Amino acid sequence: MVLCNTLNLQRQYRDQLDAKLLYGRANYDCVHPEAYGGQSTAQCLVELLPGGMFGCPHIKECLYVLAKQAVQKAQFSSLNYAMFHVSRRWVSAKPPEFLVLDECHTLKNQVIDWASMIVTTQDIALYHLELPPRVALRPIGGYITPAEVGALEEWFDLSIRKVEHRIAKLSDGKPEHAQPLGAAVFFLDRLTTVRNLLPTLNEHWFVSSGDTGSAARTPGLTLKPYTAQFHFQKLFDVGSARIIMQSATVGDFGQFLSELGLTLPEVQTLTVASEWTAAMQPIYFARKSPGLASTLNDVTRDFLGAQIPKYIQSKPSTWSGLIHTVRRDMADSLRRLLIERDPSLASRLVLPTSVDDFQRQLARKPNLIAITHLFHTGVDLPNVNMLFVTKIPFGNLGDPFVARQCDYDPIGYRAAAARELQQMLGRTRRGSASHYDLPGKPSDKLVVVLDGHLRMVKQYLSPLIQQAIVEPSF
């Protein structure tokens, strides 16, 4: 069984290796005659009535159930991570021989999200919950007191009963109740999961709670572990299954494993050599590059405004490109800046809303250059020639949790940025031999990192990426 983050990767396993797939339930249309147009099995009309989903008279035609049954019988299958989390009971009942965690560079965040709970003031109003007990935000290393843990346990127990009561009221089979029922069931699952983790609350958790109905819409309760170390094996323990983790962007093996509570002696590692050497796929980086901001301050404006047009004009005008930003508003500002510095780029610089939008525009005009924050992961653009990274993708320190997590594990903070950077670089660094520097043939690729903060994360990149980084020769 292979776990993936995206539908695209699941479909690759189906198309290339004949895997049976199970998507999230929102991807299957409900076949019940009373279902409204577009209603998915995530809003099943009969799931919580006597007999549940399997008591539905149309169960034999249910697309979700048919897919689930096919996966349960298959020798080779694929689920997304979210579906696996809610399916652990039946997966554990008949565990696969191997559980493959693809895109494993995301596991730290996967585990932290699974173990987390955020209750907003909107949730409190919707489910008529009591205000969470106040727990003061601790400095790093500060313990939660037993009394505070006990108060949280009481609040969770009462909240679970109230949500169960709402679910019972919504479980009347009425079409208009399908969507709120699905939301309530999901909310109950999160409450139950995190309630079971409360006894483990300690200095490794971010906890903030209390009456916070301010205009800033601060959550009424936030519980998040800073680390995945103590939860990874609990989440992926499905009996006798042997776990295989794989990714092209793990970077430093030791750092990656430590974040999951694992060590090199207990894990067998294997590096699959790329058929393309580092010299065939260079990444250009000028040592004089300043550390750039995520907004266009004066330093960032001057540097990007001078460098990007220079690189673009050094290559054929027929080349297409991708300019990564880390914020949506920066993409629009950067486009205006580049046109101001080089008006000839006005007809080539675009702000696509999706990869499909960009591909449609490229079909009409093949030398377009996209500026976007949307294409960091899950996008394959092998025929795009140029790629620019304008900012190393560090976590947002304006988020209280991210700031505290950075203080808790500053190396992990940099390693996470390095992994996302590798994802960004990989959007165009793929494809056939024609895309690489081969003997006697110039490359039709250009990859440039413009942010001097690369120096802070370089050591956490994979060896192949580190070896590919060179100073520009033009």
Q: CA separation (Å) from 384 to 107, 162, 356?
A: 29, 53, 14
Q: Each residue of 219-231: b (16+ CB within 10 Å) or e?
A: bbbbbbbbbbbbb
| Chain mean pLDDT for the chain | 87
Contact (Cβ atoms closer than 8 angstroms) between residue 119 and residue 207: no
Band of the pLDDT at 225, cuts 50, 70, 90?
very high
Is residue 394 over pLDDT 80?
yes
Spell out the domain ranges in the chain.
2-105+232-266, 116-225, 278-470
Which amino acid appears at position 227 of this protein?
Answer: T
Average pLDDT estimate for 17-40: 84
Average pLDDT estimate for 453-459: 94
Q: What pLDDT sits at residue 215?
A: 45
Phi, psi of 43 (to 5 degrees): -115, 50
Q: What pLDDT sits at residue 471?
A: 80
Q: What pLDDT sits at residue 473?
A: 54
Band of the pLDDT at 435, cuts 50, 70, 90?
low
What's the pTM? 0.85
Q: What pLDDT sits at residue 50?
A: 60
The Cβ of residue 74 has, within 10 Å, a number of other Cβ atoms equal to 16
Q: Which of 42-46, 250-254, 314-318, 430-434 has the highest mean pLDDT?
A: 314-318
Which amino acid appears at position 284 of this protein?
Answer: Y
Nearest to 412 by CA among 269, 245, 225: 225
Structure-token pair, residue 300: 């960032």
Q: What pLDDT sits at residue 107?
A: 95
| pLDDT 10s digits, 326-350 | 999 999 999 999 999 999 999 999 9
Q: What pLDDT sits at residue 464?
A: 87
| pLDDT 10s digits, 90-148 | 898 889 999 999 999 999 999 999 899 999 888 999 999 998 888 877 777 777 888 98
Contact (Cβ atoms closer than 8 angstroms) between residue 239 and residue 92: yes
Band of the pLDDT at 182, cuts 50, 70, 90?
confident
- Second CATH level (architecture) for the domain 278-470: 3-Layer(aba) Sandwich (3.40)
Nearest to 423 by CA among 246, 228, 227, 247: 247
| pLDDT 10s digits, 77-102 | 999 998 998 888 889 888 999 999 99
Average pLDDT estimate for 227-246: 90
Structure-token pair, residue 37: 């147009």
| Spatial separation of the C-alpha atoms in residues 370 and 325, rounded to whole Å | 10
Average pLDDT estimate for 39-55: 68
The Cβ of residue 44 has, within 10 Å, a number of other Cβ atoms equal to 25
Band of the pLDDT at 442, cuts 50, 70, 90?
low
| Spatial separation of the C-alpha atoms in residues 149 and 233, rounded to whole Å | 24
Q: What pLDDT sits at residue 209?
A: 82
